[in-house]
Amino acid sequence: MATVSAAPTPQTSDRAPEPFTDGYHLAVDALLRNDIRTMYGVVGIPITDLARLAQASGIRYIGFRHESDAGHAAAAAGFLTGRPGVCLTVSGPGFLNGLVALANATTNCFPVVQISGSSERGIIDLRRGDYEEIDQLAAARPLVKAAYRVDRAEDIGRGLARAIRTAVSGRPGGVYLDIPAAVLGEVVEAEKGAASLPRVVDPAPRQLPQPGAVDRAIELLAGAERPLVVLGKGAAYARADKRIREFIERTGLPFLPMSMAKGLLPDDHPQSVATARSLALRRADVVMLIGARLNWLLGHGEAPQWNPDVRFVQVDIDPVELDGNRPIDAPLVGDAASVMDVLTERTAPGRITVPKAWRAELAARSAQNVAKMTERIEAAGKAHPMKFLGALRAVRDVLHDHPGAYVVNEGANALDFARNVLDMRVPRHRLDSGTWGIMGIGMGYAIAAAVETGEPVVAVEGDSAFGFSGMEMETACRYGLPVVTVVLNNSGVYRGDDVSTTADPAPTALRAQYHLMMPAFGGVGYRATTPAEVDRALREALASGKPALIDCVIDPTDGTESGHLTNLNPKGVADIARPTS
């Protein structure tokens, strides 16, 4: 327990000064007591000394250029480790920047705690105009799993323990912890402070499903003519890899992985139907959802994407999630690891089988789609200027030789194409835009993956998406992290050939040579105009173990507006008047 000594008093006394501590030391000691060893953030008033003290006390502090990026890094750390990531921000606008990432983490069910300094409560509550005056607690509450404020230094340990337990228990999510500047600077007796620092015990206990619910699910799957398992990132987070694989292989059930569940079983597994996704969803009569939700990413479970008569088995830790879009015929409430343990144990060999006709139908469609995609990739590999698929084929081939590398992916076309081309073989090695489909997660996720695992990271970015967090390449260089960013640069948002109707560039137009920024940061930049150049640059960058960026020059005409989400654009006069290129 670190202490500071009291200032000497003018009175004469033979008694030694009583040791004291303050809110800064209590916060750091509380983090250490709960095994927090890494913190992401941006320093400034009033938390700079908290970052300095954390670093001096053995916590690795990773300083970012923007709070949203630091928050995304903390969220990725939570997903990758199963422990809450911690983001540190200043007050006011800095807090708001971090809140974007905290809300995104909550939507994606990533455990993270954002600790922000704040201004004087008495002045804020009377709206007297204090420095960066915002009622941060009230602003955070609607967007996060929970929000707490510490009003006394002696409650810092309690507040942090509460935040940690809330972030990881049940359905994980983002927690906001407000620590006003006055509380950080408050001085208390060291002995009293030490006694106020609890250690969280078993913050995410197992939640077992009811036996009757398990039997109901088995019965439904056993009677299916066209069964299907859908794996979501909740299944990846649960680290139930062995049990999920055992259950799927024992039953022979076909499975479809959502993007961040790729690698739970290898993408080339014979039971994977990722290459027959549309057919599998449209025809399945019984679907088991493991850590996946029937949100917009799965068409809300509705026709025409789904069979209108489909029946669902859903594994979810939160019963509130059930029946949100479609009735769930066999709910299995519990953590995915515990549910899969019980389900595997109670499923007798041969109890669940898959009709040969269904297997054959899926296999035929998979073979057909793979042949089409192979043809497209082969053609793209010969095209000039370079196409998305040509560049991604080169990335795929290099990654096959680096199976331990983590892949971060965001963009519109960059995300859609990469999801189909870059196959995964290892769980939790793919991080992407997730449930909200937002842009700007790339560099934060990539830096966190490198920090938390020590493994190389390849971030495949659209040029528009990279712009949200590209300055964080300086962060990667400052810390010497093995992050290689591949920018698929088609000079525009969606595509770079949009025609302007004025002297200004078109609304979707971009123009940059991204590799030129790297020498300024102390990293290495490459410019690639062919798949062969992408291959050589990526291999060299990964071999170096140092930060690098490859600017892949893509045909400006290659790309589709909004990727696969064109249907979400409302139709109106703008579509009638839109110029064509």
Q: Where residue 161 sits, what CATH number does that domain have?
A: 3.40.50.970
Q: In this structure, are 388 and 534 located in the same domain?
A: yes
* Residue range(s) defining the domain that contains residue 282: 211-362
54 within domain boundaries: yes
Q: In this structure, are 188 and 230 located in the same domain?
A: no
Q: In this structure, are 250 and 321 located in the same domain?
A: yes
Q: In this structure, are 455 and 535 located in the same domain?
A: yes
556 within domain boundaries: yes
- pTM recorded for the entire structure: 0.93
d(CA 147, CA 138) in angstroms, rounded, equals 8
377 within domain boundaries: no
Q: In this structure, are 308 and 169 located in the same domain?
A: no
Sign of CA dihedral 498, 501, 505, 508: negative
10 within domain boundaries: no
CATH number of 330's domain: 3.40.50.1220
Q: In this structure, are 111 and 244 located in the same domain?
A: no
Query: Closest Cα to residue 140, out of 160, 116, 162, 109?
Result: 116
pLDDT in tens, 394-449: 999 999 999 999 999 999 999 999 999 999 999 999 999 999 998 999 999 999 99
Q: In this structure, are 245 and 315 located in the same domain?
A: yes
- pLDDT band at residue 19 under the 50/70/90 scheme: very high
Strand pairing report for 406-410 and 457-462: parallel
Q: Which residue has the tokens 């004469």?
A: 12
pLDDT confidence of residue 578:
52
Q: In this structure, are 352 and 390 located in the same domain?
A: no
Question: Please, what is the average pLDDT of the chain?
Answer: 93
pLDDT in tens, 158-199: 999 999 999 999 999 999 999 999 999 999 999 999 999 999
Residues 6+ apart with CB under 8 A from 52: none
Are 219 and 317 within 8 A, CB to CB? no
Token readout for 28 is 């750091």
In the chain, the number of structural domains is 3
d(CA 279, CA 553) in angstroms, rounded, equals 35
Instruction: For 119-175, give the DSSP string.
Output: --HHHHHTT---TT---HHHHHGGGSSEEEE--SGGGHHHHHHHHHHHHHSSS--EE
343 within domain boundaries: yes
Q: Which residue has the tokens 């009293």?
A: 192
451 within domain boundaries: yes
373 within domain boundaries: no
Token readout for 54 is 């954390």
2 within domain boundaries: no
Are 418 and 410 within 8 A, CB to CB? no
